[in-house]
Amino acid sequence: MAVPAQEWLELIEREYLTDFILAGGGAVKFAFGDAHQLEIVARVLDLLSARHGLAHVAIDAVTTRVHMIQDVFFAIAGALEWDAMAQCFVESLFGRMGYEWPYPGEAVPIHVLAERNRLDVTLLRRDFRQWLTAEVMQDTEMTQDFRMAMTQLCLQRLEPGDAQLGITTPVVQWLRGELRRIGALKQTFITARITRHNARAMLRSSCRWLTLCGRQGLFAALDIRQLGRPGATIGDGIRYSPGAVLDAFEVLRQIIDDSEHFSGLLLVVLADQSLIGGDVRRSLDAYLALKMRIWSDVRPEGRDNPLAPLVVLGEQHFVGEINSAAMR
C-alpha cells in the first residue's frame, strides 16, 4: 500500500499551503520513497511553497549535522535574507504610520527620510525607536536576544552610514553560526551564542519574524537519508554513529512536540528504506518515542492514509505526473 505521490502533493498544497500553514499552523510530515521520487517531490514542494509566499529551505544530512538542533537552525538562517526582511518590515512600518519611503528596497539615511516627509530628524528618530519597541521589542513570541538582533537590523536600514550601528554583519553571522567571538555583539545587548539550549526558541522566533516581514511562513525540506548509511566515509559527507542517529531522531521528536508553537512552519522530512527497515540501530525501531508520533496504528482497509504523519510514496509511474507539475 502507498499514497500516489501526485495525490499527496495536491493534498499538501490544498490542506496545508493554502490554509493551515498560512493561518499560523505548524506541521511536520515524513515522506518515504526512492531517490528519484524524493528529488521530484522536493522540487515540486519548493515550487509550491514559493507560489504561496513561503520562504523555502533545503537541508541535507550529508552537509548539515541534523543531530544538533543549532546546526539545523543555522542551515535555515543561512538561507534567509535577513537584511531584505528587515528592509521589508521597516518599509511596511513606515507605510502603516502614513509616511513615504523614498527608495523602495533600499536603506535610506534618516535625514533623507525626514526631508522627504517634512519631519524633524530628532523627532523621527524618537518615533521610529518607539515603533520598534512596540512592534518588535515587546513581541514576546520572539526571544529577547532575537528581538535585539532584529531591532539592530531594522535600525541599520535608517542609519547605513552610522559607525556606531555598523553591526549588520556580526548580527547575521551570529544568526548563521559564523560568529567567532560573542564580544563583537556587545553593543547590541545580545547575551548568548545560539546552542542546542536555545536553537528551537530561535527557530520559533524566526517563524514569527517571517510573518511580520510579509512572508506567509517557512517551508523546510529535511533529507535524512544519510542517517541510514553506516558505511558513509568522510568523502561522502557527515558520518553518523548510531548514537548520533538517536540524537537526530530526538531533534525531530522535539520539533514535532513543539510544532504548535512554530507559526507558519511546514517541515517535510525525506527518508528512504533505512528509516523503516535495515539496520535496527538506524531505523525508527531504535527510537520508539519518534516512531509512536508518526507511525499510523490504524489504517483504512486497502490503502494508506494520505493525511498520516508518515506516508509511503507511490510507485515510479506516478513520478512522470509529478515531473509535469514541476515544469508548469
Indicate if the pLDDT at residue 165 is higher than 60: no
Closest by Cα among 307, 220, 223 to 38 = 223
Mean pLDDT computed over 314-327: 53
Q: What pLDDT score does 182 carry?
A: 86
Mean pLDDT for all residues in the chain: 90
Indicate if the pLDDT at residue 302 is higher than 80: no
Q: What pLDDT score does 128 carry?
A: 97
Q: What is the pLDDT of residues 222-239, one digit of tens each?
A: 999 999 988 655 567 899
Indicate if the pLDDT at residue 316 is higher than 90: no
Grid cell listed for 85:
526582511
Grid cell listed for 247:
540524537
Indicate if the pLDDT at residue 318 is higher than 50: no
Q: What is the pLDDT of residues 184-232, one digit of tens each?
A: 888 888 989 999 999 999 999 999 999 999 999 999 999 999 999 886 5
Closest by Cα among 32, 3, 37, 40 to 326 = 40
Using 50, 70 and 90 to split pLDDT, how confident is the model at 169? confident
In angstroms, the first-to-last Cα distance of the chain is 29
Instruction: Give the span between the Cα atoms of 53 and 217, in whole angstroms.
Output: 7
Q: What pLDDT score does 1 carry?
A: 63
Q: What pLDDT score does 300 carry?
A: 60
Phi, psi torsion values for 109, nearest 5 degrees: -55, 145
Grid cell listed for 323:
515531473
Using 50, 70 and 90 to split pLDDT, how confident is the model at 163? very low
- Whether 4 and 320 have beta carbons less than 8 Å apart is answered as no
Q: Each residue of 202-215: b (16+ CB within 10 Å) or e?
A: bbbbbbbbbbbbeb
Phi, psi torsion values for 223, nearest 5 degrees: -90, 115
Closest by Cα among 234, 225, 221 to 282 = 225
Mean pLDDT computed over 248-269: 97
Instruction: Give the span between the Cα atoms of 92 and 100, in whole angstroms.
Output: 10
Using 50, 70 and 90 to split pLDDT, how confident is the model at 301? low
Indicate if the pLDDT at residue 58 is higher than 80: yes
Model-level pTM?
0.91
312: Cβ contacts below 8 Å, ≥ 6 apart? 1, 2, 3, 32, 33, 304
| CA distance readout (Å), 324 to 44, 173, 318, 321 | 10, 39, 10, 5
pLDDT above 70 covers a percentage of the chain that reads 89
